[in-house]
Amino acid sequence: MSIHRVNKTKETLLLLPKYLQIYKSMIKKIVLLSILLINIRCLAQEIYIIPQVGLNANTYDFGETSSNLSNQRFSPGVSAGVGLNIALDELRTFILQPEINYSMRNNRTDHISSGNMNEALTIQQKSTLHYLEIPLLARFDFGIGTRYYFNAGPSFSYALGGREKLESDEPRIQSYNRSADFDNRFNRTDWSALIGGGIEFPFNDGLLVLDARFSWGFKTLYKSREIQRVDNEGNLTSTIVGPEGKNRIFTLSIGYALPLN
């Protein structure tokens, strides 16, 4: 047996306890998840799966002190996903609804920024970011036949990717059109609170669902708001563009709930 194979075998044996620990951890998580799903299945009176699609209207809250510095333009995006509608009582008055959704968040904002320059400049920023959203909603229903509801709960978002664009009439500002930089410029994650409501009514073997909700983000969009410019002496300097923004999203969607039990 060659020395290389002997060393490889020794490395594998040394790593074996670590692999066993990872395996045990995975088994525990699988068992806990299975128990949780079994308990939900036992508690649930009815379970529906809800594929849904919709439109987003996304803006950023820049704060009262900076409202006169940023002018936002309406730029809608799309959303799509699936949710589980788990009724916890026979009358379906209280429902737990976890979801997993795709959300496109578009933004077009004109910033007026002086930075370290004497004159103010108008700079247009555009971004299209693609998020995976995981809300967990508590839903309260009322009505017979056609039913109405309101819901609320937390949501976690993770940015999968996107693009950003910057334009300015000032030739010394470095314009760009590039992939979104989540290492230095954008925060990749966001936490938010959702509140909304809707209406559902019987349709064939399922339920047609019309839903409207508002998302209030807690985390700032940017890690850094600096852009590059060339000063009068030809030196490369940086300028702060606009204040830190937080997501404010209104979503209108339609879904079709299909019974699973």
Name the phi and psi angles at 86, rounded to 5: -110, 105
Q: What is the pLDDT, as a whole number, of residue 68? A: 45
- Residue 145's contacts (CB-CB under 8 Å, 6 or more residues apart) are 201, 202
Measure the CA–CA gap between 261 and 250, rounded to whole angstroms.
Answer: 32
Residue 39 pLDDT exceeds 80: no
Spatial contact of 121 and 102, defined as CB atoms under 8 Å apart: no
- Residue 64, classed as helix, strand or coil, is helix
**Range in 81-85, 110-114, 237-241 the model is least confident about:** 237-241
Contacts 24+ apart (CB under 8 A), 74-78: 75/106, 75/107, 75/108, 75/126, 76/106, 77/103, 77/104, 77/105, 77/106, 77/128, 78/53, 78/54, 78/104
Question: Alpha-carbon torsion 169, 222, 219, 132, what sign?
Answer: positive
Furthest CA-CA distance within the chain:
77
Residue 21 pLDDT exceeds 50: yes
Q: 236 or 69, which is more confident?
A: 69
Measure the CA–CA gap between 116 and 51, rounded to whole angstroms.
Answer: 50
Find the mean pLDDT for residues 55-61.
Answer: 82
Q: What is the pLDDT, as a whole number, of residue 65? A: 43
Q: What is the pLDDT, as a whole number, of residue 110? A: 72
pTM confidence score: 0.73
Spatial contact of 48 and 259, defined as CB atoms under 8 Å apart: yes
Measure the CA–CA gap between 108 and 130, rounded to whole angstroms.
Answer: 15
Find the mean pLDDT for residues 142-154.
Answer: 93
Find the mean pLDDT for residues 176-184.
Answer: 84
Identify which of 155, 99, 96, 164 has the alpha carbon closest to the alpha carbon of residue 130. 164
- Residue 244, classed as helix, strand or coil, is coil
Highest mean pLDDT among 59-63, 76-80, 84-88, 163-167: 76-80
Q: What is the pLDDT, as a whole number, of residue 224? A: 60
What digits encode the pLDDT tens for the residues 202-256? 999 899 999 999 999 998 887 766 555 555 555 545 555 555 678 889 999 999 9
Name the phi and psi angles at 212, rounded to 5: -130, 135
Find the mean pLDDT for residues 153-158.
Answer: 94
Highest mean pLDDT among 80-84, 185-189, 233-237: 80-84
**Range in 1-5, 100-104, 106-110, 216-220 the model is least confident about:** 1-5
The pLDDT confidence band at residue 32, using thresholds 50, 70 and 90, is low
Q: How many CB atoms lie within 10 A of CB 134?
A: 14
